[in-house]
Amino acid sequence: MITKIKDLIIAGIGEQAVVRIEEDHLQPILIVNADSLLEIALFLRDTEECYFDFLSNISAVDFHPDNRFAIVYHLASIPYQTQLVLKVEIENDRRFDNLPEIPSVSTVWRTADWHEREAFDLMGIFFTGHPDLRRILLPDDWQGYPLRKDYEDAETYHGIAIK
């Protein structure tokens, strides 16, 4: 199934949209180009052969010590009872003034709104085009991104001991 979807994307969007397929996991993963992500998302939702109408989860992955992150999308087609895992890999220098950036898919699947906010809040992934990208679990003035592997726990918050 994943090869068929890859071929449909290449035929509909172009060769540059697909990076590779990883089949050595529990579910095969289609790695796609970040620049084509929004176009791919719309294609997967609106193309009759695919019809991935449900985004169940977005996960952010930190490959520390490498300067690399990944965003993983778990999609489902409810009518066809199929699932697809999409992944986008991002190179980044890990500086807090230069967050890894990827297009938002919240205009394609409304559930992405909250999932993207969580990935922003906890991993520091910036989703361009998101309608309200702000922290969702931590206070607005929290420093850092606690799910990054190089995160160092704060000792205090507004003078209150945390540990």
List Cβ<8 Å contacts ≥24 apart for 4-9: 4/49, 5/30, 5/44, 5/50, 5/84, 6/30, 8/43, 8/47, 8/49, 8/50, 9/40, 9/43, 9/44
The pLDDT tens digits of the residues spanning 48-106 come to: 999 999 999 999 999 999 999 999 999 999 999 999 999 999 999 999 899 999 999 99
Of the chain, the percentage scoring pLDDT greater than 70 comes to 99
Domain count of the fold of the chain? 1
- Residue 143's identity, in one-letter code, is Q
| Alpha-carbon distances of 147 from 63, 118, 123, 128, 129, rounded to whole Å | 11, 10, 5, 20, 23
Would you state the pLDDT for residue 26?
A: 87
| Nearest C-alpha neighbor of 90 from the set 105, 76, 106, 72 | 72
Would you state the pLDDT for residue 66?
A: 96
Residue 163 has pLDDT above 80, yes or no: no
Question: What's the domain range around 103?
Answer: 2-161
The pLDDT tens digits of the residues spanning 111-120 come to: 999 999 999 9
Would you state the pLDDT for residue 12?
A: 96
Of the chain, the percentage scoring pLDDT greater than 90 comes to 91
Q: Kindly report the CATH number assigned to the domain that includes residue 74.
A: 3.30.460.80
